[in-house]
Structure 1
Amino acid sequence: MAKEMLVTTTEKIPGHNYEVLGEVFGVTTQSKNVFSNIGAGLKNVVGGEIKAYTKMLHESREVAIARLREDAEAKGADAVVMMRFDSGSIGTDMQSVVAYGTAVKFTE
């Protein structure tokens, strides 16, 4: 089983020197089904957390990170540093999430 690629939000990885390979990213756009949208609309009236959307965003981040790792592996990277998320709405019921960072190759 291959070791999972390290993805970190920091610039430096303690104990490692590396060369920069370039930018990598992973993106996904997801939406909930019509029943979840109806439930979210009702929840909007009374307030509180909309758990279906919270779960969707969590899953979107996981998919975006997996795709980020795939992009980095395709470039021959050993790790990704300075990883960040960005997200935005598309219309009223779709959410796009991107994970981006810098692919690096260890030099030692």
Structure 2
Amino acid sequence: MAQKQILVSTTEEIPNQKYEIIGEVFGLTTQSKNVIRNIGAGLKNIVGGEIKDYTKMMIESRDIAIDRLRSNAVEMGADAVVMMRFDSGSIGTDMQSVAAYGTAVKFID
């Protein structure tokens, strides 16, 4: 099954679908803030407003984490992931980590 065919849901149940739980799956990424982003963020601290480069970095991180979650689910033989959640945090002053995690399930006929 191709990676993109893996259904990822934040809900506990998939309507009209029976399944068995395979186990926990996750996808992780850590992104480094670059010098240009840091300079832009410093200027935004003075005047206020959204730091678009950081927002873009977080969107990219989220997408990478979901792709890795899907890969992990495929490796386990899953058909879907339920109860998917995100977690993020800073590592030091210049790195950001994002984790996508959930429960891999296999459909039953």
**Counterpart position of 2:46:** 45
Structure 2 runs not aligned, ≥5 long? none
**Partner SS state of residue 28, structure 2:** strand
Separation in structure 2 between the aligned mates of residue 83 and residue 64 of structure 1, nearest angstrom: 11
Query: Which residue identity is paired with 2:104?
Result: A
The percentage of aligned residue pairs carrying the same residue is 75
1:8 alignment counterpart: 9
C-alpha distance after superposition, 1:73-104 (max 9, x if no partner): 00000000000000000111210000000000
Structural mapping, 1:16-35, within 5 Å: 16-35=17-36
Q: Name the residue aligned to 2:93.
A: 92
Using the TM superposition, name which of 49-58 and 28-37 deviates more.
28-37
1:5 partner amino acid? I
Deviations 1:8-36 (A, max 9, x none): 00010011100000000000000221111
CA displacement 1:36-78 (0-9 Å, x = unmatched)? 1111111111111000000000110000000000000000000
Counterpart residue type for residue 53 of structure 1: Y
Residue 84 of structure 2 aligns to a residue whose secondary structure is strand
Counterpart position of 2:63: 62
Q: Which runs of 5+ in 1 are unaligned?
A: none
Alpha-carbon separation, structure 1, partners of 2:94 and 2:49: 18
Aligned mates of 2:16, 2:77 — CA distance in 1: 20
TM-score (norm 1): 0.96
TM-score, scaled to structure 2: 0.95
- Residue in structure 2 matched with residue 72 of structure 1 by the alignment: 73
Q: CA RMSD in A?
A: 1.2
